[in-house]
Amino acid sequence: MIRIYADLHVHLGQALGRPVKIPAARTLTLPAVLEHCRRRKGLGMVGIVDAATSGGLEELRRLLRGGELRALEGGGFRYEEAVTLIAGAEVETADEGCRSHWLGFFGRLQALEGFAARLWRVVSNPQFSTPRAAWRARDFVEAVTETGGLALPAHAFTPHRGVYGSCADRLAALLPPPALARVAAIELGLSADSEMADHLSELRRLSFLSNSDAHSLDKIAREHNLFELGEPSFDELARALRAEGGRRVAANFGLDPRLGKYHRTACNRCGEVAAAPPPVRRCPGCGSADVTKGVRDRLAEIADASPGPSGRAPYVHQLPLEYLPGIGRKTRERLYGAFGSELAILHQAPAEELRRAVGGKVAEVIILARQGRLAVIPGGGGVYGRVEYALSTGHRID
Ligand SMILES: [Zn+2]
Ligand SMILES: [Zn+2]
């Protein structure tokens, strides 16, 4: 069994010179993502969720023709014998009165093409990322699984198009039993973690994924998974999600959910973010009912279980370099130069070597972040939480 780090939700900004996802960085091209995963992020697997756009699909075919990518027998596409690309699609579905985002992943080019052909019949522009499809959630799950893919809700709890956040109290309310049985996993999203999600009993049987939803190179792997697989292929990924034959999601690495931009309820009038125990439904500052409900508050409303001991993989909270106070782009470059990948810096680099590379103050921030000892101010209403340059006990560092 091998252990690899994987981030399965990365967007493209551009493919073959044309825009794919308007609000994503133009530097986010398929070749750039692959190279960034290999050199900077230390990922062994990356899911591109714009592979079923017209530009993304064409670029994938070009890289395969040119030999930059190699189709694996077990599914997936290998880059430089270091990173496996998993081709995917994020799609917005419409059920009665609500829209939600879903992810589909495909192991073979033919499966992806078969899915894209069905998708393009129900969207207005196949060039754009996360298209609104004239599909209900159940139609999406059917289209993906019938073409041999894996289907799952994206950022399941966020108020912006998360299935629980904006659609339903239960997946079972949205999907008939056959479709429900085909759901391959749940993507937690930046504002939730496993402990929170295990408050829903219908999720007990599902694997959890922690992915970045990156719209720029920097944000790749800000959340990621550790898989144990027989080999880094699509079929092995599918087995891991089913926890079959010893394959499994061995750990989830994610932002401290308090950093997520929808963690707590926030007021749309005055901007106040709730601090009282959840669920909070009105603004604690001005009393307005015009609020964006937080993920923690939403979960407190719909919970039907209390998480006990389970075989669930550990969820490791991490604070990516980009979020750490006093660590700018230049310092990050120095760190990459000294230690290679972001994962090596965050999890492995010894304190003494960090000190030698970037000085005592930066090294201390990284070590405190690794130990979960920095103070976090919760996010809400579309504004990310913040990491403060202070110990979580309130004690200043400098
Ligand atoms: Zn989305
Ligand atoms: Zn996305």
What is this structure's pTM? Answer: 0.91
| In a domain? residue 314 | no
Q: In angstroms, what is the span from residue 160 Cα to ligand 1's centroid?
A: 8
Ligand with minimal distance to 156 CA: 1
- Euclidean distance between CA atoms 178 and 393, whole angstroms: 49
pLDDT at 20 (0 to 100): 87
- Euclidean distance between CA atoms 47 and 152, whole angstroms: 13
Q: In angstroms, what is the span from residue 9 Cα to ligand 2's centroid?
A: 6
Q: How many CB atoms lie within 10 A of CB 244?
A: 11
Ligand with minimal distance to 215 CA: 2
Residue 11's nearest CA partner among 186, 161, 128 is 128
Q: In angstroms, what is the span from residue 155 Cα to ligand 1's centroid?
A: 7
Q: In angstroms, what is the span from residue 263 Cα to ligand 2's centroid?
A: 17
Ligand with minimal distance to 155 CA: 1
Q: In angstroms, what is the span from residue 252 Cα to ligand 2's centroid?
A: 18
| In a domain? residue 194 | yes
Q: In angstroms, what is the span from residue 90 Cα to ligand 1's centroid?
A: 7
- Euclidean distance between CA atoms 194 and 198, whole angstroms: 6
pLDDT at 125 (0 to 100): 92
Q: In angstroms, what is the span from residue 293 Cα to ligand 1's centroid?
A: 17
Task: Enumerate residues with CB within 5 Å of ligand 2 (an ion).
Answer: 90, 213
| In a domain? residue 364 | no
125: containing domain = 2-257
Q: In angstroms, what is the span from residue 172 Cα to ligand 2's centroid?
A: 23
For 15-41, letters b (16+ CB in 10 Å) and e give: beeebbbeebbeebbbebbbbbbbebb
- Euclidean distance between CA atoms 295 and 108, whole angstroms: 35
| In a domain? residue 351 | no
- Euclidean distance between CA atoms 319 and 367, whole angstroms: 11
Q: In angstroms, what is the span from residue 201 Cα to ligand 2's centroid?
A: 26
Domain count of the fold of the chain:
1
| In a domain? residue 393 | no
Distances (CA, A) of 327 to 316, 323, 324, 389: 21, 8, 6, 11
Amino acid at 197: A
Ligand with minimal distance to 24 CA: 2
pLDDT at 371 (0 to 100): 86
Ligand with minimal distance to 48 CA: 2
| In a domain? residue 301 | no
Task: Enumerate residues with CB within 5 Å of ligand 1 (an ion).
Answer: 101, 154
- Distance from chain centroid for Cα 335: 24
| In a domain? residue 327 | no
Q: In angstroms, what is the span from residue 11 Cα to ligand 1's centroid?
A: 10
Burial class (CB in 10 A: 0-12, 13-18, 19+), 127: middle
* Strand ranges, E, within 36-180: 45-48, 69-71, 77-79, 83-95, 98-106, 150-153
CATH number at residue 119: 3.20.20.140
Q: What is the pLDDT along the chain (398 residues), one digit of tens a residue?
A: 999 999 999 999 999 888 886 778 888 999 999 999 998 888 999 999 999 999 999 999 999 999 999 999 999 999 999 999 999 999 999 999 899 999 999 999 999 999 999 999 999 999 999 999 999 999 999 999 999 999 999 999 998 899 999 899 999 999 999 999 999 999 999 889 999 999 999 999 999 999 999 999 989 999 999 999 999 999 999 999 999 999 999 999 998 889 889 999 999 999 999 989 999 999 988 999 999 999 999 999 999 988 776 779 999 888 888 889 999 999 999 999 999 888 889 888 999 999 999 999 999 999 999 888 888 889 999 999 999 877 665 444 43
pLDDT at 97 (0 to 100): 86
| In a domain? residue 374 | no
pLDDT at 398 (0 to 100): 38
pLDDT at 393 (0 to 100): 54
